Amino acid sequence: MRIKILQGDITTRSTDAIVNAANSSLLGGGGVDGAIHRAAGRELLEACRELRRNELPGGLDVGKAVATPGFRLPARWVIHTVGPNRHAGETDPGLLASCFRESLAVASQLGVGSVAFPAISAGIYGWDARQVAEVAYDVVTALGDSVPERGGSGNSGPGSPLEIVEFVLFSEQTAAVFQSVFEG
């Protein structure tokens, strides 16, 4: 599995799936969530409303993940996950790790070869970008048969089609933090 750290707009990535740092309502919001909803078009909101009506009447729990089609995005799928909000007292790194782990599990179920993540819970949810990067590194590298040296690459596990995991960070500063963590 190859890991890439990029500075840019996740909504423009042509990976098989992108991960949305959603709120529990799944009905759009600010930051990455709002950008993804705007780029995907009204169909994404309708798909999320359908999920709420049928599968998730109470919304998506923190640390869980669910997929919808990508609609007008270059990515075929959007994997929605709800990160913990430090400002609301959700300070357990295990919840943050669950976001990455559950998103990767959904990606595996979808059979995707590539997935792009934002810095889940960094920004408005108050998590330090370095801590988010460290948790992401631990989860993603644990996925492989052999954990790579920082900056290296490993396998994505037996039978796993996942070949590329990207971290697409909007700000140069966050991208630099992720780069420093992943290159060790």
Rounded CA-CA distance 85/68 in Å is 23
Rounded CA-CA distance 122/129 in Å is 5
- pLDDT of 150 reads 33
The three-class DSSP label of residue 7 is strand
- pLDDT of 104 reads 97
pLDDT in tens, 16-62: 999 999 999 999 999 999 999 999 999 999 999 999 999 999 999 99
Rounded CA-CA distance 95/98 in Å is 5
Domain span at 69: 2-183
- pLDDT of 144 reads 66
The ranges of the chain with pLDDT < 70 are 144-160
- pLDDT of 143 reads 85
The domain total for the chain is 1
- pLDDT of 160 reads 62
- pLDDT of 38 reads 98
- Give the CA dihedral 157, 159, 160, 164, nearest 10 degrees: 80
Check which CATH number belongs to the domain holding 179 and give it. Answer: 3.40.220.10
- Active site residues per annotation: 33
